[in-house]
Amino acid sequence: MIFKFSKQLTKPELFEYIQDSPFNVIVQWIIDSRVRKSYSASKFLKDQIDNPSNEIKAISSDILKGIGKIPFDENIVILACLRWVRENIVYQQDSHTWEVEVIWANAKDTLTRWYVRKPKGLEVIHVGLDKPLNEPSAFRAGDCDDVNSLVYLLARQCGIPAHKLYCICGSVLEGGHFWCAYKSDQYPLNWFFIDQCYWYDNTPIDNRNLFDIDNENKITEHASYGGVYIKTQKNNYQKIWFVFNENKCYVSLKPSWLK
């Protein structure tokens, strides 16, 4: 079900009220199998929001400069952050970059570790924000949680408020995945999914697919046809396990008063 609101009717309080089934911050996720640390998913983001690295500050500043001096438009900013990560970070599994099965790399690591391909696999040849001049084939890399948490952090540093952004852990057609959800002013009860790797979509926000979540956390995808949203036959995203931003964790994105 798609609900459209005029921009004049939406306020931050409405976005907060919509998410009224908190799972608090008790959701824990193993994000570093090197030492088997278990962190609060929200804390993983909050630590980086409260103390942003110089790299995050520099990249977000470049993104805003690239957009230019126009009235601040969150729909443009979120896509600029998504495009930057897509163009600058190569998808690679943790087993290739960190030689472990699971690690949620922080933004500083993702932005500063430069790899080259060697016969035995990837090798880190440089740590720093700028690409090494003597190695033109070097690249930065990360898996879904690395690249999409980076999109989230850049968007927050660029000025998009937390109540419009979430990270999602859930299932897609190929298995488990980590992606972002963005809520625009015009559709405060529905979501635009922001995903650097599994289902990358560079379409302007107003023309891209919207997503709805049912009572069992199953996802329904709606395609846009000239501003009219029609349910798709095939969903790229299947079900939500949990969602979070730096402040809150939920077991659902579905407002309890709509359940």
Q: Which one-letter amino acid corresponds to residue 150?
A: L
User: Could you write out the three-class secondary structure of the chain?
Assistant: CCCCCCHHHCCHHHHHHHCCCEEECCCEEEEECCCCEEEEHHHHHHHHHHCCCHHHHHHHHHHHHHHCCCCCCHHHHHHHHHHHHHHHEEECCHHHHCCCCCECCCHHHHHHEEEEEECCEEEEEEECCCCCCCCCCCEEEECHHHHHHHHHHHHHHHCCCHHHEEEEEEEECCEEEEEEEECCCCCCCCEEEECCCCCCCCCCHHHCCEEEECCCCEEEEEEEECCEEEECCCCCEEEEEEEECCCCEECCCCCHHHC
What ranges do the domains of the chain cover?
A: 7-258
Question: Is residue 66 within 8 Å of residue 118, measured between CB atoms?
Answer: no
Poorest-pLDDT segment among 3-12, 54-63, 65-74, 130-139? 3-12
The percent of residues in the chain predicted with pLDDT above 70, rounded, is 81
Pairing of strands 192-194, 210-213: unpaired
pLDDT the model gives residue 224: 80
Cα–Cα distance for residue pair 164/153, rounded to 1 Å = 13
Please determine, for residue 22, whether its predicted confidence score (pLDDT) is greater than 50.
Answer: no
Q: How far apart are CA 114 and CA 109, in angstroms?
A: 10
- Give the global pTM: 0.88
pLDDT score of 99 more than 60 = yes
pLDDT at 200: 95
Chain segment 120-139, per-residue pLDDT in tens? 899 999 999 999 999 999 99
